[in-house]
Every structure is written in C-alpha cells, then in structure tokens.
Amino acid sequence: MIIARILGTVVSTQKDERLSGKKLLIVRPINVDGSDTTGYVVAVDTVGAGFHERVLVVAGSSARLAQGMKDVPVDAAIVGVIDTVDVVQN
Amino acid sequence: MCLLMQRSSASLTLLTWSRIKMQLARVIGTVVATVKNDSLEGRKLLIVQTLNWKLEPSGKPMVAVDAIGAGVGELVFWCRGKEASFPFKREDTPTDCTIVGIVDSEQHVTT
C-alpha cells in the first residue's frame, strides 16, 4: 500500500457498467514525511475520502478485494483515510 | 545463436527474479487510519523500508499490513501483490503488502 494525497476528481459517463456509481479520484503518492512525489494515479474511492486528505491506496489485483470492488475492473483503490503517520528514525 | 539463446535465458531469469517480491525490510513506523475498509478493522498498519541484500535501505518506504505481530525497529520479511491477502480472509482483505515473518536477528541473515 502507498500513502497518497487526493488532488482532484475525474468524471466519466461512458465507462464499464461495473464502475457505475464509483467515485474516481486523482491521487498523488507522497513520502512518509508528507512531501509530494511526482506522478499521479486515478483510484476508485471505497471509503468516502475527501479533497486533500491523506489516504491509503492499494494497487494491483488486490484493489479488487476492497469493499464493493468484486469483479470490477480497477487496479487502484482507496481503502483508508490516514489520521497519523509516525516514523521512527534510527 | 547459442550465445543469443543463453543471453535471453539469462535476462529471462533476471526478469523472473525481479518479479519475486518477498524481501527483507525494516519496520520504521506506524500508520493510524480510523476510516478504512471493514476487513482492515483491527489490523496493524506499519511503515516498512525495504532493504537490499546488504541490509541497507533501498527504495521507498511502503505501508504494510501486519500479519504476525511485528513492531517498530524489527527486521521482517514481507510479500507483495495478491499473495499479500493470503494470511487473512483472502477474498476480501484489500492489501498488496503484508508482513509475514520476523527475522530473529541480523546475525541470522547470511549473505
């Protein structure tokens, strides 16, 4: 799983019928210290995350194991909203 | 031709090995998420830093679900991909990165 920040939304009318009613969000992977990395991913939201929130993103076939994603053609899903990240530096 | 075949065989082996994602990592932190997928309730989320064969940090840290009770600072091994959900109820646990074992100590890693 990666940590990402929500950057925006995607609206798509013509899509696979199994994606109907699913919220598509643009997320940018971030480092554990909160700084942005480059690039972005379009992910399906399964938890009701909001703009600018830090979220957990599952990628690959595991994304289909999220709630309501069975047999849905996705390979990135938001499965949690992050409250805190604690990193212990040695 | 023979040389070419040997080369392609070698690169195929390299490719195969690079796809295997059970590696060593150090647990460097924790993540708290209250709102999450129901099947992740009660699961511990840890930040792991992948290590190379010399046990030096390599690559970016990732968030992993803990399957065996690891703690911060411990040397662990982990698996990625769909197999990461196998320690749990595999059909509905959305994880692509799971800690599946704790290495006894650094002395137990021989390279």
Q: For A9-23, what is each residue's pLDDT tens digit?
A: 999 999 999 999 999
B27-82 pLDDT per residue, tens: 999 999 999 999 899 999 999 999 988 888 988 999 999 999 999 999 999 998 88
Q: Which of B79, B73, B75 is nearest to B106 (CA)?
A: B75
In a domain, B96, yes or no: yes
Mean pLDDT of chain B: 83
ipTM: 0.87
**Cα A37 to Cα A87: distance, rounded to the nearest angstrom:** 18
Rounded Cα distance, B63 and B52, in Å: 18
B interface residues, A as partner, C-beta within 8 Å: 28-40, 45, 47, 60-65, 72-73, 81-82, 84-85, 90-97
Task: Return the higher-pLDDT residue of B21 and A61.
Answer: A61
Residues of chain A contacting B36 with CB distance shorter than 8 Å: 47, 56, 79-81
| B61 neighbors B28 (Cβ within 8 angstroms) | yes
Domain presence at residue B12: no
Q: Low-confidence residues of chain A, pLDDT below 50?
A: none
Is residue B2 in some structural domain? no
Question: Is residue B61 one of the residues assigned to a domain?
Answer: yes
Domain contains B82: yes
Helix, coil or strand: residue B97: strand
DSSP state of B2: H
Domains belonging to chain A, first-starting first, are: 2-81 (2.40.50.220)
Residue B42 lies in a domain: yes
Look up the domain containing B47 and give its range.
21-108
Q: Which residue of A1, A60, A84 is in closest CB contact with B63? A: A1
pTM: 0.84
Instruction: Give B37 or B10, the one with higher predicted confidence.
Output: B37
Query: Distance (Å, rounded) from C-alpha B66 to C-alpha B48?
Result: 10
Average pLDDT for B75-100? 89
Assigned domain for B5 exists: no
Question: By CA distance, what is B63's nearest residue in A?
Answer: A1
Count of domains for chain B: 1
Q: Is residue B31 part of a domain?
A: yes
Which CATH number belongs to the domain containing residue B39 in this structure? 2.40.50.220
8-state DSSP, B88: S
